[in-house]
Amino acid sequence: MSKFKAIVVEQADGRHKASLTDFDEAQLMEGDVTVRVEWSTVNYKDGLALTGNAPVIRRFPMIAGIDLAGTVESSSHPRWKRGDRVVLNGWGLGETHFGGYAEKARVKGNWLVGLPARNSLRGAMAIGTAGFTAMLAVMALEHQGVTPQRGPIIVTGAVGGVGSIAVALLSKLGFSVIASTGRPGEADYLTSLGARGIIARNELAGVAKSLDQERWAAGIDTVGSTTLANVLSMTRYGGTVVACGLAGGKDLPATVLPFILRGVSLIGIDSVMCPLARRREAWKRLASDLDAGKLAAMTSEIALPDVIEAGNRIVQGSVRGRTVVRVS
């Protein structure tokens, strides 16, 4: 097909506009693999890109969507052939390179990961960048020697996509998970994912002490700002905190005391430029370590025309878990 449906974001005269439109295949960007996109997903970063609440998109016009899963339609890359099932997240997709909210994508073959045999394309996008990021965070904690015997792990922003999957992953791996959320009505949902304790967001929202009572051995933070500062101040001696989000702000109003008096480590997670070997490991781990039933329970489905509204809702904090997008 020479034209296909795509969600295109434009910016003119200071106005940011996302719209569903017909896009000409001839206008796709350079790449050695063309993918027939079947599924995508809505991440918090997608919401920022669609609404313009943060400068996620670096060139306009841009087909939005930082994730895609589909089938190779044509390829001049030695690793991929027609019919291969592939997943792509990061590498500037939906930021500097036309993204996944389109029925077709032309990309670089070196960006692609083959889908594990036990995963469906839809299931891969139920995971998406959010789940991929959560797995990278869990792997980082393991690399630091964090084990269930060390003590509980806190997950902030636990009702969101990264948080929900992090809770499910950690629970299956035997960790005692404390889930932090500003939505008390979701307590049963978090318990169903495996959380053993729930604390209110406001317990971590105030000005952080330089050092506070030690409460957890490690943490996965999706919020940033004062929440991350409080998590650090309450982390036990020798603990590790992984930072992978900024829903609450990009600042970090903390002191160095948790690092130099308790030996706490702060590790950052980047899902965009993550090396290929680690990507493959993360997707392989997700195929085995993420409970399929819990993933299904946290996932809702929408069609491509519904994406713009979903982007608004995720930025407003009214989306629970994961949202998959039926593209084609």
pLDDT average, residue stretch 185-200: 97
**Would residue 304 count as lying in a domain?**
yes
Residues 232 and 313 in one domain: no
Residues 314 and 193 in one domain: no
In the chain, at which residue ranges do the beta strands (DSSP E only) sit? 3-12, 15-24, 33-41, 62-63, 67-75, 85-89, 104-107, 113-114, 153-155, 177-181, 197-200, 216-221, 235-243, 265-268, 299-303, 322-326
Residues 107 and 196 in one domain: no
Task: Note down the domain range covering 242.
Answer: 130-268
Which domain-ending residue is among 250, 268, 286?
Answer: 268
Mean pLDDT in the chain?
Answer: 96
Residue with tokens 């593209």: 327
Residues 78 and 166 in one domain: no
Residues 92 and 191 in one domain: no
pLDDT in tens, 163-172: 999 999 999 9
pLDDT average, residue stretch 133-143: 98
CB environment 88-114: b (16+ within 10 A), e (fewer): bbbbbbbbebbbbbbbbbbbebebbbe
pLDDT in tens, 13-52: 888 999 999 999 999 999 999 999 999 999 999 999 999 9
pLDDT in tens, 250-290: 999 999 999 999 999 999 999 999 999 999 999 999 999 99
**Would residue 292 count as lying in a domain?**
no
pLDDT of residue 1: 55
pLDDT in tens, 42-87: 999 999 999 999 999 999 999 999 999 999 999 999 999 999 999 9
* The total number of structural domains that make up the chain: 2
Question: What token pair was written down for 209?
Answer: 């002490």
Dist CA 114 CA 283 (whole Å): 9
In this structure, what CATH number is given to the domain that contains residue 206? 3.40.50.720
pLDDT band at residue 228, thresholds of 50, 70 and 90?
Answer: very high
pLDDT average, residue stretch 110-138: 94
pLDDT of residue 159: 97
Residues 84 and 139 in one domain: no
Dist CA 71 CA 55 (whole Å): 30
Residue with tokens 């910016």: 11
**Would residue 286 count as lying in a domain?**
no
In eight-state DSSP terms, residue 97 is B
Question: What token pair was written down for 238?
Answer: 């020798």
pTM for this prediction: 0.94
**Would residue 293 count as lying in a domain?**
no
pLDDT of residue 328: 86
